[in-house]
């Protein structure tokens, strides 16, 4: 007989019901406490309370030993075109080259 069944029988029929002696020795109040404690959900594991870290890479990469993603190459900045050759003073002085 479970503590829950013993408590239900004791509350329903009073002290005139056949109960295991261990529950009678506890008394009605302690039996209620035992039933209430057994009905509580189990405490959460501390590891479950920690937020999982955000991964910037695939979990398969981690299994393969690549802990971090490969560094991203910086975008190529276009270089302005330089003048092909410096102009001579004679060319600069001519109105129509």
Q: Where are the domains of the chain?
A: 3-39
Q: What is the pTM of this model?
A: 0.45
42-87 pLDDT per residue, tens: 888 888 888 877 766 677 777 787 766 566 777 777 777 776 777 7
Predicted local distance difference test score (pLDDT) of residue 57: 67
Residue count (the chain):
97
4-17 pLDDT per residue, tens: 999 999 999 987 88
| Neighbouring residues of 17: CB distance < 8 A, sequence distance ≥ 6 | 9, 10
Give the chain's end-to-end CA distance (angstroms, integer): 112
Predicted local distance difference test score (pLDDT) of residue 56: 67
Closest to 9 in 3D by CA, of 36, 25, 28:
28
3-state secondary structure of 18: coil
């Amino acid at each position: 007989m479970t503590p829950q069944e013993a408590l239900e029988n004791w509350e329903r029929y009073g002290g005139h019901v056949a109960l295991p002696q261990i529950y009678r020795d506890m008394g009605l109040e302690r039996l209620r406490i035992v039933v209430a404690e057994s009905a509580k959900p189990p405490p959460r594991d501390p590891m479950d309370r920690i937020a999982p870290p955000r991964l910037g890479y695939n979990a398969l990469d981690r299994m393969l030993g690549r802990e971090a993603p490969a560094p991203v190459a910086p975008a190529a900045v276009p270089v302005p075109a330089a003048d092909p050759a410096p102009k001579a003073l004679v060319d600069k002085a001519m109105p129509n080259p």
